[in-house]
Amino acid sequence: MSFKLLFLWLLYFVQGLPHGLQSSLLPVYLRTSGLSLTRISLTKALYFPWILKVLWAPLVDQAGTKKIWLVASMSGLALTCLASSALSPDTDFSTVVVVLLAMNFLASVQDIAVDGVAVQLLQQQEEVGYGNMVQVVGYKMGSVLAGGGLLAVMDLVGWSSLFIALACVYCAVTLYVMKTPILNKCPKSQSAGRKCQTAGLNPWRVWRELLTVPGTTWIVIYVLIYKLGEQGAVTMFPLFLLDHHMSARELGIWNGMVAMGFSVCGSSLAGVLLSRHSIGRLMRATFVLRMFSMTFQTSLLLFLSQSTLVKGAAILSLCAQHFLGGLITTLTFTTMMNCTQRAEESIQATHYSFLATLEVLGKLTFSALAGWVVDWVGFPTSFLFFLLLSGASTLHVYRAVEKGQLKQQPG
């Protein structure tokens, strides 16, 4: 199991690099250039390929092998990094946007392939819990390196050097994937492949099969709403600090690295807790704690927005939000995988990609609108709205626990 987890961690680590670049580094870079919060939020449209990845998920399921898709997607990511190194957001912004869109498309293809491998490699419940832990932790560590870490040193090494280094990372991991034998342990059966090809020719049949998997309807609603309030707060609070009390370098350290470190700790702790407690109990407790955390963060804006915000309290709220967010993310992806493992093998990768797409859609849609909401009504009122949205998702989880809908897949 250790080798499986290390392999999955590495793949999710490199998958998190584009997200860190665009979620942590790019917004601060653009804000320091004088762009409005509304325009910065609209850059979330760069994640559009992630919303559409369910359209090409059946192709990744049907054509070729997972190794071929992984090698092709990561080789393409190395090339996009090299292209980015020759550009500058100040003078070539439109071209940079196109390259980042291509990067997200390739990362989404890699994600489908890795998810398919993970679903087949992780069979026992203990493996599922730890597997989703390394998935989230690996992704976030990649995001931390490409976001907070690179933001902290960007003034020293420059834009071009950063992307050349990332291209080298992708090349190294691509060579490792080509050499590793672990992908030979999850071959696809011929009958499953024939069934998938038949279903792939009929999109409506694919959708019917996806939605008839037990538990899918509840999870569809859940993944669309569970991060709305948290996502608004996590996206906007660092920009509030940038406008009032912290420099870009400080944010790169505290929000991009330290707070994300707490997020990784939360995700790791969730993997351990899943082996000892029921997922329903864990989700209910964690969502309640998140409500308290968001109330604390909102109070900072409501009562201290007109005075010097105590940096210690701001940093504490950032760390608490990211820690609980990490817990919730691992619990969520474990719930998704439990549901996917109830599906037919021939549509498992597509089913998981479908749920993951909706998860991204829920976060991305609100992230794109959060800046507009803040520009319209201000920070305090916006954060009260974020708190209300978090309350709605907490209620959704509570009802599921009472009805017994949150159950772990038996090992």
Tell me the CATH number at 361. Answer: 1.20.1250.20
**pLDDT tens digit string along 15-53?**
877 777 777 667 776 666 665 666 666 666 777 787 777
Instruction: Identify whether 408 is part of a domain.
Output: no
Residue-level pLDDT at 222: 86
Stretch 348-370: mean pLDDT: 75
**pLDDT tens digit string along 185-213?**
554 544 344 444 444 445 566 667 777 78
Which single residue is written with the structure tokens 């490199």?
14
Residue-level pLDDT at 96: 73
Residue-level pLDDT at 31: 66
- H-assigned helices in 305-347: 311-340
Instruction: Identify whether 123 is part of a domain.
Output: yes
What's the mean per-residue pLDDT of the chain?
75
Question: Is the pLDDT reported for residue 261 higher than 50?
Answer: yes
Closest CA to 98 of 45, 147, 57: 45
Instruction: Identify whether 15 is part of a domain.
Output: yes
Yes or no: say if 325 and 266 are a contact pair by the CB < 8 Å rule: yes
54: region left, alpha or beta (phi > 0 left; psi from -120 to 50 alpha): alpha
Provide the residue range defining the domain that includes 113: 2-403
Instruction: Identify whether 409 is part of a domain.
Output: no
- The percent of residues above 90 in pLDDT, for the chain, comes to 1
Residue-level pLDDT at 193: 44
Q: How far is CA 356 from CA 22, 66, 361, in A?
A: 19, 18, 8
**pLDDT tens digit string along 231-240?**
777 777 777 7
Residue-level pLDDT at 289: 92
| Whole-prediction pTM | 0.64
**pLDDT tens digit string along 334-358?**
888 788 877 777 677 777 778 877 8
Total domains in the chain come to 1
Instruction: Identify whether 410 is part of a domain.
Output: no
Instruction: Identify whether 411 is part of a domain.
Output: no
Residue-level pLDDT at 370: 74
Instruction: Identify whether 369 is part of a domain.
Output: yes
Instruction: Identify whether 48 is part of a domain.
Output: yes
